[in-house]
């Protein structure tokens, strides 16, 4: 596709359920980033990938959060046993060789 | 690692006023410097960038100059419009092959009054 695609665009889930958020980066982009943005707040780094490996997972808030990337392309961010504090917009971005990042529209997650 | 300090918001200006949003950074080596903008209800997008010292990035009437001496990349616009109302993020980032995360400033919310 022409840009970074994230799905779903909105997700409402019950507390305690698991959710999967998907990111389709721009074809050929080697770097992929996940960020979280709470209402009115800045960008909180979660994890990034270079190819399929994740050199920096330091931003994942807890062991309930995990992410993987396959084939150097699609990435999935999984949140297990969701809590209300997980409610936020989850943003994915991709980048060719660490130049500017191209962002998706985000997934708005609401935990009720 | 990189870090960035960005002017606190919100900033409210009248249309046609002059805008400056300050950004200073610390970084290993000489990163590329970026400003991203997030319009209401939209995702982040690149506004402008500069890749080496004394370079000036410009777009949509906005400008920022890479100042190595002061490690700054202040965003300026001579005459703002209502359509410039958005959140602006400064981001230094190394652009060579070794992998690194992008660190964003805290964001500056700009509101322009008609």
Q: What is the pLDDT of residues B81-109, one digit of tens each?
A: 999 999 999 999 875 545 578 889 899 99
- Those residues with Cβ within 8 angstroms of residue B92's Cβ, 6 or more apart along the chain or in another chain: B2, B4, B25, B27, B31, B32, B33, B34, B73, B103
Distance (Å, whole) CA A19 – CA A80 = 7
Distance (Å, whole) CA A7 – CA A107 = 6
Name every residue in B having a CB less than 8 A away from some CB of A: 32, 34, 36, 42-46, 49, 89, 93-97, 99-107
Give pLDDT, residue B30.
80
- Cα A83–chain centre separation: 17
Could you report the per-residue pLDDT of A52-76, keeping only the tens digit for each? 998 888 899 999 999 999 998 999 9
pLDDT, greater one: A38 or B66: B66
Give the nearest partner residue to A31 out of B34, B99, B103, using CB atoms: B99
CB-based contact B103 A45, cutoff 8 Å: yes
CB-based contact A33 B103, cutoff 8 Å: no
**A3-20 average pLDDT score:** 97
* 3-class SS of residue A112: coil
Q: Which residues of A touch B32 (CB under 8 A)?
A: 99
């Amino acid at each position: 596709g022409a840009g970074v695609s994230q799905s779903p665009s909105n997700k409402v889930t019950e507390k305690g359920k698991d959710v999967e958020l998907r990111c389709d980066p721009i074809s050929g982009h080697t770097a992929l980033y996940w960020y979280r943005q709470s209402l009115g707040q800045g960008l909180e780094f979660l994890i990034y990938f270079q190819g399929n490996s994740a050199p920096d997972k330091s931003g994942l808030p807890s062991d309930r959060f995990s992410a993987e990337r396959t084939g150097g392309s699609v990435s999935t961010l999984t949140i297990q046993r969701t809590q209300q504090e997980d409610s936020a917009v989850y943003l994915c971005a991709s980048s060719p060789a660490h130049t500017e990042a191209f962002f998706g529209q985000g997934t708005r997650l609401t935990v009720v | 690692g990189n870090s960035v300090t960005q002017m606190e918001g919100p900033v409210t200006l009248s249309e046609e006023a002059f805008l400056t949003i300050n950004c200073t950074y610390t970084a290993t080596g000489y990163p590329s410097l970026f400003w991203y903008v997030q319009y209401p209800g939209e995702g982040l997008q690149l506004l402008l960038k500069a890749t080496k010292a004394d370079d000036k990035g410009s777009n949509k009437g906005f400008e920022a100059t890479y100042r190595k001496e002061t490690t700054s990349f202040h965003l300026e616009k001579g005459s703002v419009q209502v359509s410039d109302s958005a959140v602006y993020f400064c981001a230094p980032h190394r652009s060579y092959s070794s992998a690194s995360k992008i660190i964003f400033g805290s964001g500056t919310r700009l509101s322009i009054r008609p």
